[in-house]
Every structure is written in structure tokens, then in C-alpha cells.
Structure 1
Amino acid sequence: MFKLHIVDWSNRRTYQDHLERYFRIRHEIYVIGRKWQQIDRPVPLEIDAFDTRDAIYLLGIDGSGNIAGGSRLVPTTKPHLLSDVFPMLARGAPPRDADLYEWTRFFIAPSLRMTARSSQAAGIVLCGLLEACLRLGVGKLSVVCEDFWPARLEQLGWSVTRLGEVLDHPDGRIVALLIQISSDALQSTRVFYGLGDTSALVGTE
């Protein structure tokens, strides 16, 4: 279907066109679809304060060059969403560590979504996320997400710790999580989505 590409500051020029499409889809999903007006801009690109040279993007690119899904990783040693916007979700003390990255902007292209259940495309992005973390030496992830995500991730076999209480926010009920990265979580996620042992990342077969 598609594979994920790891894009950072060192290779972003190679993916310049794909990154622009990625930011346009983020605008369609978060600004137009979810009505996140606080991140609306005069141009149809959803780029926030954490899209810096330190950000790592996981771009799902299909055979036609279309963006099928994506995620973003931001080092917690630098400014990030939990530390700068929602520290209250971690009781005022967001964790920081060299091997701890914040996971944000997970999405699947609307055409690949399925009604009432998670699509295989979501499984590819989630497996690619875990594979990328294992490859990059990322041992833990923090994430600010809707309050239904902890149960969903635990169903996949992920080790999840809630960092604080649920917050009623204009964009929904949100919570902060700490996720442990492991090969066991990757394998159980592959099984859940029926993906076998094929890598979701480019160049790792």
C-alpha cells in the first residue's frame, strides 16, 4: 500500500514537495475538518511552533507519490506541546529525556480511513512509528491525545502510563501519556493489523 519515510533537517530538501503536501493535508484535517481555529493561518498549510529543524517527520508515501499518512516526533529536550502548551496534563512536570520524543500529528489520509474500525493504513503508520523509534534510539514517547487513545493503544499491546488527569478542552477531552517503545509492541501491532513481519519503513526490508 505505502511505506513510511523518515524525514529530518538533513534530507528535507529531497522531500520538499512531499512536505508541502503533508502540511496541506494537516490543514485539511485539523483546521478544516476538526475546526482547530487557533492554528489557522492565511495560507492553507498547517505549520505550528514545533515544526522546527529539530522535528522528525514520518511520511507515508504511496507509489504515486501521494501522502497516505504521517506523524511527527519532537525531542523533549527542546520546546514541545506538552511542555509549552499543556504542562498541566503532566501535573506541571512534563518528563524530558534525551531518548524521549513527543509524538504528534498522527493521521491517515481521509480516502484510506474506514468506518467504525481502524484501517490497515493506520497500522502501517503505527508500525512505522515504532520501527523508526527503534532505529533512531528513541526509547519513550510522550503524547497529548484524546482520552480514548490509552485504551486503543493498550489493545495493541503498548505499555502506556497516564501522566495526569483528563482535561476538558474546546477540541475535546485530552490526556497526556508516556509510551514505552519495544520490539514486543511492534510485533503485537503487526499481528493486530495482520501486517506480518514486513517492515513499514523504506529501506529496511
Structure 2
Amino acid sequence: MRTPFKLHIVDWSNRRTYQDHLERYFRIRYEIYVIGRNWQDIDRPVPLEIDAFDTRDAIYLLGIAGSGNIVAGSRLVPTTKPHLLSDVFPMLARGAPPRDAHLYEWTRFFIVPSLRMTGGSSQAAGIVLCGLLEACLRLGIGKLSVVCEDFWPARLEQLGWSVTRLGEVLDHPHGRIVALLIDVDGGALQSTRAAYGLGNTSALTGAGA
């Protein structure tokens, strides 16, 4: 099946190749999180949403359409380094966020508004979720941690993902949030592909991977 975009794996080693895409990616993050969701605590003098965890250790999954436009994205941060759960929300993991060389934190998952679907999860979201799992399997990442809204555990479990809640739900100005630990495996990838009707088509491009 032909999909509207592919995910590119971008890290410190190939960032120069994607320099323009990364700048647009940070601009879209600003539009979504600062303007769209009104996260004023991460506002900056320039319209780029870059936080303390956008370091040389971060891995970006950029959804790039055939036109070259950024239409989706996600970020992976090693838990052996500072990350959102350890440095900002340790209380969501009862003060003991898990750390491991094969455990990465998943953050900044977005789809541009034009590819979203009212009242449900769009195919674009499925492409990013499948691409995330594919990238983790390719990179040897066995588990993910994530700080997310409290509706996500049930949604991921419906897709066949193995999810463990690390603590209680927290009422936060940005919504009710919870920390999760997610197992990465081929079974979750296959069930997610099936749920979104993606067949066996890879969500990743060979470039930058």
C-alpha cells in the first residue's frame, strides 16, 4: 500500500543532511504545542519549540511527504541521559523512573492538522506508530517510556501493545497525565499495521536509517 509519507530516522550523525527539515520540525512543534495547546511554559523568543532534551543524544523520526514537507514527527531520548520523566515528572514513576541502555523515552508525537481525523485516529497516526516500532526494532531499543495523557494506555492496548503504568495519574495544567513503560516487539508492529490497514508496508525510508 502506498502511504502519504515515510519516516526518516535523524540523529547527530546525519543531522546536517536534514538541517532544513529539522528547523521546520521545531517550528511545527511550536505551532502545535505553544500556539495550539497553549503550553506557555515552553514558549521562547523565537518560534521554535526546543527543550532541554533536544540534545545530540536525541533521535528524531521525521514524517516527510513527497513534497518535502514535514507532516509528522516523534522524538526518542535515551533514559541513561536526562529526560522528561527523570527530570520533570519523576513523581509519575513513584520517584524511580526506569533507566536502561535499551530503554528510550518517546516524546513529541504529532501529526499536522491537515492529516488528522475528527473522532478517531487517522492513518497518518498509524504510520507514525508503526514507524516508531520499526525504528526501535532497527535500533535495538527494546522498551519505551512515555509521559502522556491518560487516554493513551487504553488506546495502545487496543492496538496490541504491552503497556505497564508506572504510577498514578497526575492532574496537570496540560491535562491528566500518566507515565507508561512499553514493550517493543514485532507482534505489536503487526497488530498496529493490521489496525490501520497498512499491510506489510514499511513506514520507514531507507535514507537516514
Q: Does the TM-score normalized on the shorter chain lie above 0.5?
A: yes
Q: Does 1:98 align with 2:95?
A: no
Aligned pairs for 1:4-153 within 5 A? 4-153=7-156
Secondary structure of the structure 1 residue equivalent to 2:105: strand
d(CA) in 1 for partners of 2:152, 2:137: 21
d(CA) in 2 for partners of 1:131, 1:109: 21
Unmatched runs of 5 consecutive residues or more in structure 2: none
Give TM-score, length-normalised by structure 1.
Answer: 0.99
Runs of 4+ residues over 6 Å off in structure 1: none
Q: Deviations over 1:96-141 (max 9, x none)?
A: 0000000000000111001001000000000000000000000000
RMSD: 0.7
- Structure with the bigger RCO (C-alpha within 8 Å, sep 6+) is 2
d(CA) in 2 for partners of 1:203, 1:85: 35
Q: 1:201 aligns with which of 181, 195, 204?
A: 204
Question: Following TM superposition, by how much is the alpha carbon of 1:78 offset from its aligned partner in structure 2, in angstroms?
Answer: 0.1
Give TM-score, length-normalised by structure 2.
Answer: 0.97
Percent of aligned positions that are identical: 89
Unmatched runs of 5 consecutive residues or more in structure 1: none
